[in-house]
Amino acid sequence: MARAKSDDVDIKALKRRLIEKGVKYCLASYVDMHGVPKAKGVPVEHFERMMRGSELFTGAAIDGIGQGPNEDELAVFPDPRAVTQLPWRPDVAWCPGNLKFHDDPWHMCAR
């Protein structure tokens, strides 16, 4: 089944819905090679920028990501169709995504 691209979803409308539901923070997240989730929290006001890959991770510091210390960071691009408000923390939305390197899919992304 093909996944929708971010362009297919109205990101501004999604942000408005999250704010209306009381979301204050978003977690740009991915899962490493060991199944351990990694995330960076951002205020919901930065949602659109986060969805465009603003949250960077140093791949060299994470086992199994396949980067050396001399390489640029990896960016997580959240999947807008997977954004989920946490029922136990309704002020937080989990935003799982794919890792990219300079806008290209990262070959060792676990998703």
For the chain, give every domain's residue range. Answer: 6-105
Answer yes or no: are the C-beta atoms of 45 and 23 closer than 8 Å: no
Token pair of 35 as six digits:
């199944």
Res 6: pLDDT: 54
User: pLDDT tens for residues 45-80?
Assistant: 999 999 999 999 877 677 767 777 877 888 999 999
Of 31 and 58, the structure prediction assigns the larger pLDDT to 31
Res 95: pLDDT: 98
Answer yes or no: are the C-beta atoms of 107 and 67 closer than 8 Å: no
Name the residue type at position 101: F
| Residue 2 reports pLDDT greater than 60 | no
Q: What's the average model confidence in pLDDT over 70-93?
A: 94
Angle of CA points 71, 75, 81, to nearest 5°:
160
SS3 2: coil
SS3 105: strand
Confidence (pTM): 0.85
Res 3: pLDDT: 39
Of 97 and 61, the structure prediction assigns the larger pLDDT to 97
Scanning the chain, the segments in alpha helix (DSSP H) are: 11-20, 47-51
Domain at 6-105, CATH from 3.40.50.1000, 3.40.50.1110, 3.10.20.70, 3.10.450.200: 3.10.20.70
